[in-house]
Amino acid sequence: MTGATADAAPLLQLRGVETFYGKIQALKGIDIDVNSGEIVTLIGANGAGKSTTMMTIFGAPRARRGRVVFDGKDITALPTHLIARLSIAQSPEGRRIFPRMTVFENLQMGASINNFAHFDEDLERVFTLFPRLKERAPQRGGTLSGGEQQMLAIARALMSRPRLLMLDEPSLGLAPLVVKQIFEVIADLNKREGLTVFLVEQNAFHALKLAHRGYVMVNGLVTMQGTGAELLARPEVRAAYLEGGH
């Protein structure tokens, strides 16, 4: 585990966050901490509120109650684009590649918050991580395969040199080999560069093996938390998310 010193305040802190879609309450008061240098995962079934948690951090939708604090700053009421400019990057649910922009332009979009300072260097870096994207650079985003789109979504997020990288189900719908490759890249970035990662996954086995700590979410509430290894060993977690193959 990298330098998450015990006394330092967490990089990201959610306290009693409640989010609603109209009258329907999606998050029922959740507390989550992500320390600098950690990989933290949030696992849970479909519809538990994982993606809502990700989007609530960005204020879209906005938390109705509770607080979201990033690096000591309360960002609960900040407009979405200003939250992004604090160097929080997200590879969102459904990847949301710009389909009628080239791969290169998609990556340029990722770099817009720091005004293309060190753009070439960062481009070289993501092309090294995902050589496939280099081949596809002049192609339109919409013509990529699912795995390539996922790589592009992560690469686009990395182009902003994020202090916190949020990934929403990077394994969804991908071949096991591609999933393995993507998880290796995440682990590697965390180890070598100390990148802080907040990972939402349905693929609990892989996610918990990768993460330092994890949270389990059920129906808009965090029901369990612990280190990745602890959660993997818990019978409830095994029964709900791991039995029947992974």
Partner 1 sequence: MDNFLQQLINGLTLGSIYGLIAIGYTMVYGIIGMVNFAHGDLFMLSAFIALILFMILTQILHLGSLPIAFFVVLVGAMALTGLWNWTIERLAYRPLRGSFRLAPLISAIGMSIFLSNFVQVVQGPRNKPAPQLPNHVFNLTDGLGGAKGAYSVTLSVRQILIMVVTTVLLAAFWYLVQHTSLGRAQRACEQDRKMAALLGIDVDATISITFIIGAALAAVAGVMFVMYYGVVNFADGFVPGVKAFTAAVLGGIGSLPGAVLGGLLIGLIEVFWSSYFTTDYKDVAAFMILAITLIFMPSGILGRPEVEKV
Residues engaged in binding partner 1 (CB under 8 A)? 58, 60, 79-82, 84-85, 89-90, 92, 96, 98-101, 105, 108-110, 112-113, 116, 156, 160
Token code pair at residue 46 = 């479909």
Residue 188: how many CB atoms within 10 A of its CB? 12
Q: Which residues contact 110 (CB under 8 A, 6 or more apart)?
A: 89, 155, 156, 157, 158, 159, 160
Sequence-ordered strand ranges (E) for 22-157: 24-34, 39-44, 65-70, 73-74, 88-91
Could you say which DSSP state residue 62 is in?
A: P
**Nearest residue (CB) to partner 1, 87 versus 202:** 87
**Smallest distance from the beta carbon of 200 to partner 1, in angstroms?**
15
**Smallest distance from the beta carbon of 3 to partner 1, in angstroms?**
27
Token code pair at residue 12 = 């990201």
Token code pair at residue 109 = 């979009």
**Nearest residue (CB) to partner 1, 61 versus 66:** 61
CB 66 within 8 A of CB 76: yes
**Nearest residue (CB) to partner 1, 168 versus 201:** 168
**Nearest residue (CB) to partner 1, 82 versus 175:** 82
**Smallest distance from the beta carbon of 245 to partner 1, in angstroms?**
33
Closest CA to 190 of 28, 30, 2: 2
**3-state secondary structure at position 151:** helix
**Smallest distance from the beta carbon of 80 to partner 1, in angstroms?**
4
What number of residues does the chain have?
Answer: 246
**Nearest residue (CB) to partner 1, 37 versus 150:** 150
**Smallest distance from the beta carbon of 175 to partner 1, in angstroms?**
25
Q: Is 37 left (phi over 0), alpha (psi -120 to 50) or beta?
A: left
**Smallest distance from the beta carbon of 15 to partner 1, in angstroms?**
23
**Nearest residue (CB) to partner 1, 99 versus 194:** 99
